């Protein structure tokens, strides 16, 4: 499998939260974000138009990310970071309030059917994310070739009460995609929704990723190996699902040479992740002392459900056998 150039590709699960973007390019004067950069042509042009800015791009297709990354590498762009992650969730979780200068989204899928309306990026909750992360004076540009989609975006943006909004037909932009240039050359209509944040905004948004990768949840356990193994075997198939979009559990238990791997999962507000919890002996010869921690190769995001799962495992072992922990 090919991997994108490491200086362009960022794995957010290995970062503090919110991500300290200023450390990626300390001399950056602005921070811009593109949601769904596709083939990367706009991302590349944006990085050239704003050489003193840090440009962050989100994409969910590894194929698109790879092609874009090698294009950026050939052009020797050093002011771009790319993430293989959902852009709307990433915008909400990885950026501090009032930190972003501009956000761009070019020709997203409109999802025209009513039953797919919840998949539309421009739904109401998206505008609250923008209101939170944009600086006062910061802006968002949506380009689309669907007139009703542009109108729906404008209407939902108005509901926040913090944006000035402009909807233009066949606009001229400083940076354009090839699709945009072709569409205009053919005399077809495209629409730009441009919003500018005019006032401060605050809400009670509860972050999904409550801690960053610098926090390593763990528990030190002192218990006879056979008893500990029995405890962990009892967890195989365990599921806790209080709601459709929330829960955690243990799928399978593997063990060998006094080490245990728990194949686990969590769901937080519909965000699913699968990972391993590792239990291994500590370096204390002749003593049944074990360390429970997250497997570093799977490195999941630190969420409430993850913490709840690790506390459940600790409780299964029994508090009197837990020497110390940092699980809350």
pLDDT digits (tens), the chain, 328 positions: 566 677 899 999 999 999 999 999 999 999 999 999 998 999 999 999 999 999 999 999 999 999 999 999 999 999 999 999 999 999 999 999 999 999 999 999 888 888 888 888 989 999 999 999 999 999 999 999 999 999 999 999 999 999 999 999 988 877 777 777 887 888 889 999 999 999 999 888 999 999 998 899 999 999 999 999 999 999 999 999 999 999 999 999 999 999 999 999 999 999 999 999 999 998 766 689 999 999 998 889 999 999 999 999 999 999 999 999 999 8
Instruction: Report phi then psi at 64, rounded to 5.
Output: -65, -40
* CA atoms of 179 and 236, how far apart (whole Å): 51
Q: What are the structure tokens assigned to 170, written together? A: 């066949």
Output the pLDDT for position 328. Answer: 84
Counting runs of H as helices and runs of E as strands, what totals does the chain give?
A: 8, 14
List beta partners, residue 32: 55, 102
* CA atoms of 70 and 48, how far apart (whole Å): 16
Cβ-Cβ contacts under 8 Å for 82 (sequence gap 6 or more): 4, 8, 9, 10, 37, 43, 56, 57, 58, 59, 65, 68, 69, 72
Cβ-Cβ contacts under 8 Å for 206 (sequence gap 6 or more): none
- As to burial, measured by CB atoms within 10 angstroms (0-12 exposed, 13-18 middle, 19+ buried), residue 29 is exposed
């Amino acid at each position: 499998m090919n991997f994108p150039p490491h200086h362009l590709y960022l794995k957010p699960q290995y970062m503090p939260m919110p991500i300290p973007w200023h450390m990626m390019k300390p001399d950056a004067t602005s921070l811009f974000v593109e949601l769904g950069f596709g083939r990367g042509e706009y991302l590349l042009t944006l990085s050239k138009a704003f050489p003193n800015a840090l440009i962050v791009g989100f994409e969910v297709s590894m194929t698109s990310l790879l092609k874009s990354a090698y294009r950026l590498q050939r052009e020797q762009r050093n002011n771009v970071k790319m993430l293989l992650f959902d852009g709307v969730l990433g915008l909400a979780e990885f950026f501090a309030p009032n930190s972003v200068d501009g956000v761009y989204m070019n020709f997203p899928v409109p999802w025209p059917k009513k039953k797919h309306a919840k998949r539309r990026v421009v739904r109401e909750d998206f505008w609250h994310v923008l209101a939170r992360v944009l600086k006062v004076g910061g802006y968002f540009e949506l380009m689309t070739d669907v007139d009703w989609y542009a109108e729906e975006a404008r209407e939902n943006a108005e509901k926040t009460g913090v944006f000035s909004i402009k909807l233009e037909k066949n606009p001229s932009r400083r940076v354009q995609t090839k699709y945009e240039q072709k569409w205009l050359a053919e005399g077809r209509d495209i629409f730009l929704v441009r919003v500018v944040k005019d006032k401060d905004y605050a809400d009670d948004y509860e972050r999904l990723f409550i801690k960053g990768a610098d926090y390593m949840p763990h528990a030190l356990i002192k218990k006879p190996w056979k008893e500990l193994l029995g405890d962990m075997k009892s967890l195989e198939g365990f599921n806790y699902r209080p709601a459709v979009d929330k829960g955690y559990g243990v799928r399978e238990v593997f063990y060998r040479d006094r080490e245990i791997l728990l194949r686990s999962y969590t769901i937080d507000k519909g965000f699913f992740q699968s990972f391993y919890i590792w239990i291994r002996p500590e370096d204390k010869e002749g003593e049944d002392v074990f360390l429970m921690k997250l497997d570093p190769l799977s490195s999941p995001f630190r969420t409430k459900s993850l913490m709840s799962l690790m506390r459940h495992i600790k409780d299964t072992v029994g508090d009197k056998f837990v020497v110390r922990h940092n699980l809350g």
